[in-house]
Amino acid sequence: MYVGVEPNVDDANICQHLLDSTDGVEGSVLVGKWPDCASKLHDKQFDVILFIHCLYHVVDVGEALDEALCLLKPHGQVIVFIVSYKMFD
């Protein structure tokens, strides 16, 4: 089961359509911002939570990560992808 969070309703609809049209994949896309959407989810629900180039847009990164940790199953993982600006120097 996949759950996505997307603040833009049009992009969320596109993502939901892609999930719905992929055989063997079950998922939903919540419209909103993280961590506000975390309240719609159940604690200890996920094996992995990915933040892919999105923490730049979060007001309180610590709060966002704390919310993610609450949603993980025991031994779950949070994976964060961010740009390393040093590689462009």
The pTM of the full predicted model, rounded to 2 decimals, is 0.82
What's the pLDDT score for residue 85?
A: 76
Q: How far apart are the C-alpha atoms of 38 and 40, rounded to whole Å? A: 5
pLDDT digits (tens, 9 = 90+) for 62-84: 999 999 999 999 999 999 999 88
Q: How far apart are the C-alpha atoms of 36 and 83, rounded to whole Å? A: 24
Among 45, 67, 35, residue whose Cα is nearest residue 1? 45
Q: How confident is the model at residue 89 (pLDDT cuts 50, 70, 90)?
A: low
